[in-house]
A and B are shown apart, each in its own frame.
Chain A
Amino acid sequence: MADLLTNAAAEQAQIGPGGLFMATLRRDLLLSLRRKSELVNPLIFFLMVITLFPLGVSPEPGFLAQLAPGALWVAALLATLLSMDALFRTDYDDGSLEQLLLSPQPLFIVVLAKVLAHWMLSGLALTLVAPVIAVMLFLPAEGMPGLMLSLLIGTPTLSLVGAIGAALTVGLKRGGVLISLLVLPLYIPVLIFGTSAVQAAVTGLPLGGYLALLGALLALGLALAPLAIGAALRISVSG
């Protein structure tokens, strides 16, 4: 990481975009993996929220199966949102975010790598855990591929959009609640298409269309969100 931060070293190392991406990704993953307790927090949160549904609504299997697609997606969305605040927080606190912004490297790639690292430890982990939790909600087995595929394609978009909120609020002392206010309305399309994909899978309808829409949202997010995140970071850090 140190060689990313200074001009001279970067020129010597001749680091390309791919190298920059991998270096940032490796650094972020390494840092996150060293705080293992924080790592499992979104997963525990996911499990707890899911537990609330049978308790709060009804433990009847048929009813829960009907509720499952929406409940799983809402819980995954909230779990992602919960972990969002930490995305730039530590880097902001120890000053390395400022150094990243000052470095001659393209911010687009750095931001993309950071979001990917975040997604691998939140969205991807949620995707892998989701089938187990879906069984607890009596989601029929036919719905599992739809659930996993929609979460796999949908959660990166959640991370990308959430990162905009995180970048806008990183300079504030308490950004947590504010992020939810900013980001939740923007999550609605992903929620709609994700839930629809699971429901289509459960009823045996083709789910290609929903996955394609989720993919389109992801493509749009990949192209545009890093620009907004970069701009937001510059505003937050300079202000």
Chain B
Amino acid sequence: MSDKKWMPRWFYQLASPRWCYQICGKLLPWFTALALGLLIGGTIWALVFAPADYQQGNSFRIIYLHVPSAILAQSCYMLMAIAGAIGLIWKMKVADMVAKSCAPIGASLAVLALLTGAIWGKPTWGSWWVWDARLTSMLILFFLYLGVMALNSAIESESTAAQATAVLALVGLVNIPIIKYSVEWWNTLHQPATFKLTEKPAMPVEMWLPLLVMVIGFYAFFAVTLMMRLRNEILRRERRAGWVKELLLSKSAV
């Protein structure tokens, strides 16, 4: 049997909850600073300095919240499924915890995307909700998150719950493109252009640059919340481990 290590060392180190807790703790301030800087800078840039849209006026500015949250809701599902797969294959506790921490963040981002979409839709399309393909597939993504969370909380044993949700997340991952395309076809079939998403194939630089900043800022913010949740989850699950007790004692002594 060849004992060749084809995975890098840090990959195995991440499998240790203690090591992962510490590395997250070290990274956390950097990412917090990055997220705060980008989000505050991006928001000011987007709301104050970016030019208004020639059709939608200032109401278009909500895309600076809407688009990043929609992108991130999808990336988060991907991360959840991949972490779940790693947990299933390598039996890593930390990967299970990452997957579990992802679900509520992803669900709230999907809600944010839906809400901002509705607020945007009111002045643009004249109604809070339209059965548009994108809105519908985001709603379905939200349902998938809810399913994952419901399954996770229904199973008592933590390792079983993690494995079961990993399987469900992977099944969902296979299904997401199918759902996306089927919903798009359905929409083109049933609603021939009652409205048009204002198509801006060439968005001017002054508009998309703040958007890019906001997207990166959202990713940084996502990393911060994920690490905070992960650290909590690690502490909760490893509460019987010696190093957690030492950590808690040293904190309470201060």
Contact = CB atoms under 8 A, between A and B. Distances in A.
Given A169-B154, A183-B147, A238-B160, 18 more contacts: A172-B154, A181-B146, A182-B150, A184-B143, A185-B147, A185-B175, A186-B171, A186-B175, A186-B179, A188-B183, A192-B183, A192-B186, A228-B167, A228-B170, A231-B88, A235-B160, A239-B163, A239-B164
B184 to A, nearest CB: 10
Interface in A207-239: 213, 217, 220, 224, 228, 231-232, 235-236, 238-239
A168 B164 contact: yes
B178 A182 contact: no
Interface of A: 161, 164, 168-169, 171-172, 178, 181-186, 188-189, 192-193, 196, 213, 217, 220, 224, 228, 231-232, 235-236, 238-239
Give the 4 A-B CB pairs with smallest separation, nearest first.
Answer: A239-B160, A189-B182, A185-B143, A182-B147
Given A185-B140, A217-B178, A224-B174, A236 B160 contact: yes
Contacts of A189: 175, 178-179, 182
B144 A185 contact: yes
Nearest to B189: A196
Contacts of B146: 181
B155 interface: yes
12 contacts: A168-B151, A168-B164, A169-B151, A185-B143, A185-B172, A186-B171, A186-B172, A188-B179, A193-B182, A236-B164, A239-B155, A239-B163
B111 interface: no
Contact of B168 (A182, A213, A239): A182
Contact of B186 (A171, A172, A196): A196
Interface string B158-196: 011001100110111011001100110110010000000
Contact of B167 (A168, A186, A188): A168
B182 A181 contact: no
Contacts of B252: none
B157 interface: yes
Contacts, number: 80
A172 B155 contact: yes
Contacts of A183: 147
Contacts of A220: 174, 178
B171 A228 contact: yes
A196 B143 CA distance: 23
Contacts of A161: 171
Contacts of B147: 181-183, 185
Given A217-B178, A232-B164, A188 B140 contact: yes
Contacts of A236: 160, 164
A162 to B, nearest CB: 12
Contacts of B150: 178, 181-182
B97 to A, nearest CB: 17
A164 B146 CA distance: 17
A171 B182 contact: no
A103 B179 CA distance: 36
A186 B178 CA distance: 9
A235 B172 CA distance: 18
A228 B185 CA distance: 27
A178 B151 contact: yes
Contacts of B178: 189, 217, 220
Interface string B61-95: 00000000000000000000000000010000000
Contact of B163 (A184, A213, A217, A235): A235
A220 B175 CA distance: 10
Nearest to A186: B175
B168 A168 contact: yes
Contacts of B179: 185-186, 188-189
A213 B189 CA distance: 15
Contacts of B183: 188, 192
Contact of A171 (B140, B155, B175): B155
Nearest to B139: A185
A224 B147 CA distance: 20
B106 to A, nearest CB: 14
A102 B157 CA distance: 22
A171 B170 CA distance: 20
